[in-house]
Every structure is written in C-alpha cells, then in structure tokens.
Structure 1
Amino acid sequence: MSEVRTAPHAGDRIPALHLRPGPVQMFQFSAAVSNPHRIHYDRRWAIETEGYPDIVVQGHMQAALLARAVTDWAGPRGRLVRFAMQNRGAAFADEALRFEGVVSAVSEAEGETVVELDLVAMKEDGTVLGPGTATVTIRDRGAHEGVDKWG
C-alpha cells in the first residue's frame, strides 16, 4: 500500500496495482458475489462450451481491483465517495493486469481535500479493459491540532 502523503496535484499518477487473478481467487470472488456463471471458474466449460480461451475474470472483479488501487493510494484518511467503471474488454485467468489512475482535479471542501481521478483497468500489453472515474475525499489530519494536513 502506498498512501498519499503529499498534497495531490492534477497530473499526479497513483501507484499502479499489478495482479494476475488466478483460478482460485476468481472462484472465491464468484462465490462471494453469488455469481454462478461457469465461465468464471470452470475452465473446461469456458473453453469447450462458451468458446473462451480460458476462464474469464469477472467484470465486477476488475472494477473491485481498480477501486482497490484507489483506496490503497488514498490510505486511511481517504474515503472513496464515488466510483464508476465501464467494462469494455475481457481478461482471462493468470493474465497480467494493471490498474492505475491520474489525478484530474483537486479542490477543498469542508476541511477535506477532494480529488477527482481518471482511472483505467488494462492488460499489461496496454489493452484497455475499462476506463473509470473516482472521487476521493482526504480528511485534514491536523486541523484540530494545528498540524499541516500533509506534514
């Protein structure tokens, strides 16, 4: 985890999250969200019946991992208040995936820093799986003690 420690500025990149979702993690995610579609956990079914090259990473899992990249960056003082992602591509078991973003705007409201982010989930080869956006608020940790918010 690499939480934000200095005041964010438009153009700042958040640390990318690199993962290779595997069959066990994908099965567990399917169970957790009550998704019984076999393309997400049954390799033989996905390939022979549905025609995929391997089991398919759930779109909701891709979105959850993209949101994780944001919350890892925001840290314990950050709060994800809005998140959206459009699923535009398929990923498959054990593919190298990357979840990243860039700060598009920063403002202040009610003692909090409000950060707007443009996000993207993609394969390591650059194939976009889905663009997204998020809004994060970061609490002013030192307002009550007279400490610099970013100190």
Structure 2
Amino acid sequence: MSDLQVAGNPLTVGTAIPGFSRTSDIIQQFLYNAVLYNAHRIHFDTPYATEVEGYPGLVVAGPLLGDWLHQCVELWLGDEGRLVRIQYSNRGAAYTGDQLHVGGEVTAVDPDHATATLTLWVKNDAGDTLVPAEVDIVLGERR
C-alpha cells in the first residue's frame, strides 16, 4: 500500500476521482470559441449546424471538454500536487444542452516517485464515453 494521499485519503489503484456534471449553452460556446479564434459555425450558428452540417444541435467544442478534464484533476488535487501530462481524444460529439459527466480513477501509483496515472472520461447521459483521457500527476509539488 502507498503512503501517498490526496485529501486525506490513500492513493491506490482504483481510487475514484470525484467528478462533476456540466451542461454547455450557446453563450458559453460562442464565448469559448471566440477566445480560441475558432469561427467554425457548428459551435454558434444553430441553423448552419443543423441544416447544413446535419448535427442535431450546436456542437460543444472539443477543447472545452479537455478543459473540463483538466479541471476535474485540479479540483481533486487542490494544492497537494500538479498535473504534469494530459492526453485526451474526442471520440464522440456532445451538443449544447447535453448533460455531460466528468470523472475517472487512479490506474497506477509509483510511491517511489510520488506520481500516479489517472484514467479520466467525459460521458453523456447514455453512459457513452465521448472523451477518454490519461493523466499523469505528481504529488507534493505545488502548481
């Protein structure tokens, strides 16, 4: 068993990463994509997204989903460590108004180096994993 802890709880393989649920709306999509200089109309123009591109609604920006994965880790770690690597892949589309769920678990712990690997995900209400991710953290280092 590892002596590593997060929030006073032992850090072991299988430890759940507390997650959260988010729902994006048209205002968030417009502003988020403006900051990214992403002018793709599928993120803010409903008639274009539905009638021209054939989506059922406005598409949630993939980088926003990646940001939510990052936030999930940061909220869990607090000041007890830092995220050193994140790799994610957008495998399915999410649409404004969808309730999305972010969470994960610890999949590897290296107590000698105070590091751990996490598997994270963004899922929709149907339980489909839209965005799988792998994250490496180091404990005992502040951001």
Alignment TM-score, normalising by the size of structure 2: 0.89
Question: Secondary structure of the equivalent of 2:10?
Answer: coil
| Equivalent of residue 102 in structure 1, options 100, 105, 109 | 105
Question: Secondary structure of the equivalent of 1:63?
Answer: helix
**Match of 1:25?**
28
CA distance in 2, matches of 1:94, 1:50: 18
Cα deviation for residue 55 of structure 1 reads 0.3
How large is the RMSD of aligned CA atoms in angstroms? Answer: 1.7
CA distance in 2, matches of 1:31, 1:43: 16
User: Percent same amino acid at aligned positions?
Assistant: 34
| 2:128 is equivalent to residue 127 of structure 1 | yes
Gapped regions of structure 2 (runs ≥ 5): 1-5
Q: Which entry has the higher C-alpha Rg, 1 or 2?
A: 1
Q: Report the CA distance shift for 1:82/1:70 in structure 2 as closer, same or farther (over 3 A).
A: same
**Match of 1:6?**
9
AA of the residue aligned to 1:55: L
**Match of 1:87?**
90
- Asked whether the 8 Å contact 2:82–2:141 carries over to 1, the reply is no
CA distance in 2, matches of 1:10, 1:51: 42
| 2:72 is equivalent to residue 69 of structure 1 | yes
**Match of 1:138?**
139
AA of the residue aligned to 2:59: V
Alignment: residue pair count: 137
Cα deviation for residue 98 of structure 1 reads 0.6
Q: Report the CA distance shift for 1:64/1:140 in structure 2 as closer, same or farther (over 3 A).
A: closer
CA distance in 2, matches of 1:51, 1:29: 22
CA distance in 2, matches of 1:6, 1:128: 27
**Match of 2:55?**
52
CA distance in 2, matches of 1:51, 1:97: 21
Alignment TM-score, normalising by the size of structure 1: 0.84
Cα deviation for residue 121 of structure 1 reads 1.1
AA of the residue aligned to 1:29: Y
Question: Secondary structure of the equivalent of 1:118?
Answer: strand
Deviations 1:20-51 (A, max 9, x none): 11111111110111111010111111111111
CA distance in 1, matches of 2:130, 2:116: 23
Question: Secondary structure of the equivalent of 1:130?
Answer: strand
Question: Secondary structure of the equivalent of 1:52?
Answer: coil
AA of the residue aligned to 1:25: Q
